[in-house]
Structure 1
Amino acid sequence: MPALNQVYLADLGGMKETAEKSGKFMKTIPANQLTILVSHVSNILAIAGVSLSSGEMAVVHIDASGSIVVDGRIKVP
């Protein structure tokens, strides 16, 4: 999915576009379907508003209003 390709923090327009396209895609995934998406730190910041360390994962869900909510973070040793 091209929207998960790396976008640089200085590219504010690209980050906004990434967040919109990725969020739109994520909302098409059935709520009861576990899904893993792999991307880059800058993209995850744009999509979920959380800044992760290298190798760290964010666990998210879409709430009733359609917002992406961070449930937790997983650090890989």
Structure 2
Amino acid sequence: MKHVSLADARANIAELLDEVERGETVTISRDGAKSFDIAPPFDESRREEARRAIEEIRELRKTAPRATVEEILSWRDEGRS
């Protein structure tokens, strides 16, 4: 999410709208306080896609072996120096 002042939004509205078209949400502030968001239109098909993905993950979790806290921490730290 990008935050800009009202003055910057006025000066760069075309560029901001390009970003929104690419999927970015832009928050415009007036006098330092959040005024409003400009966001891409909601796509209902993406909601269904997300629901299917969540359901697939839930099904996988039913058969996946449980991981210990130590294993999870080890995976997190893997490759760190």
**TM-score, structure 2 normalization:** 0.26
Q: Work out which of the two has the higher radius of gyration on C-alpha atoms and give 1 or 2.
A: 2
Normalising to structure 1: TM-score of the pair? 0.27
More helix by share: 2
Kindly indicate whether structure 1 or structure 2 has the higher relative contact order, using CA contacts under 8 Å at least 6 residues apart. 1
